[in-house]
Amino acid sequence: MPELLLDVKGLETTFKTPDGIVHAVNGVSFGLKEGETLGVVGESGCGKSVTMLSVLGLIPSPPGKIKSGTAHFFGRDLLKMTTAEIRQIRGAQIGMVFQDPMTSLNPVLTIGRQLEEPLVVHLGMTRAQAAIRAAELLTMVGIPNAKDRLSDYPHQFSGGMRQRVMIAMALACSPQVLIADEPTTALDVTIQAQITDLVKRLRSELGMAIIWITHDLGVVAGLAQRVIVMYGGFIIEESMVNELYVNPTHPYTIGLLGSLPRVDASGHEILTSIEGSPPLLYEKPTRCPFAPRCKWAMERCWKENPTLETIAPDHRVACWVDVKTGRAR
């Protein structure tokens, strides 16, 4: 087995809110191999973003608190690092792209200034060297007249262009890992296609590993090699991408795939919706988080929370029920 680039074990993150403690991430473990693209899928509030923010030390504390867990990156635990130490890693060895390119860019600094910053801070370049490299980076992400555009401000770029700038910034220091949190969600579909196309090209050119967080199972299908499905702060299924779509095993994954219409369908499709709504997470679940919405739920599902079990090579699922037979696994 190849060495894991990033190895997260037992991560638990909570938030203190006026209404009580929210258990956002409840013991999540996963690994990222060198050069692979890992899709993290789930609906809003499932803990997919909080997991990655925790790993990166970007959870504001208070109200957030990392209760337990480790996240090893090149042999060092990111969760135990001081702010100064993790800053050496963020933006240098791990690049980040967030959903909303307008709020992630500083509106009063030029694009050039913002692109040069990581180069100066992490790579120790001079301003003049950084300016040359920044223009190269903008060209790499497909922005025409890169040199002239360095003096422009974020509002002078369209949404798709801003996301390209964000990607250029994330890749400025040639990171081993790129973490992208819903990077195409705010974009139109033709622009989304441009961005995913760009990421695929950069991946083959630069060979970085990618963690791609999204709620869109369509985007993941075309981009990821391996997929993690999250629900209620847990990983409920993990599989290679081809296996997951052909052989979804957790009732939630099955429901999610069944509720998606396909643009290439023929005739009328029936959408099987999942009844009910996602859990609020005010209590640390002692049962399966999906049980209230699950067609197959048995007595045990209401009493004990299933753990991730390997059911086939590279395929793990957290469910007491074997959906194919409707009986206990």
Binding site for another protein (CB under 8 A): 43-44, 158, 160-161, 188-194, 196-197, 215-219, 221-222, 241-242, 245, 255-269, 271-275, 277-278
252 is written with which tokens? 């939630």
Closer to another protein at the Cβ: 94 or 223? 223
Q: How far is the CB of 44 from another protein (least distance, A)?
A: 6
Closer to another protein at the Cβ: 137 or 274? 274
Q: How far is the CB of 256 from another protein (least distance, A)?
A: 6
Q: How far is the CB of 11 from another protein (least distance, A)?
A: 23
Closer to another protein at the Cβ: 226 or 316? 226
- The answer to whether the peptide bond before residue 62 is cis (omega within 30 degrees of 0) is yes
Closest CA to 253 of 235, 233, 280: 235
**In 3-state terms, what secondary structure has residue 211?**
strand
Q: How far is the CB of 219 from another protein (least distance, A)?
A: 5
How many CB atoms are closer than 10 A to CB 295? Answer: 13
List Cα–Cα distances, 286 to 22, 54, 232, 281, 289, in angstroms: 14, 23, 12, 11, 8
One-letter amino acid identity for 84? A
Q: How far is the CB of 225 from another protein (least distance, A)?
A: 9
Closer to another protein at the Cβ: 132 or 191? 191
List Cα–Cα distances, 127 to 89, 95, 134, 157, 179, in angstroms: 21, 21, 10, 23, 27
Closer to another protein at the Cβ: 26 or 239? 239
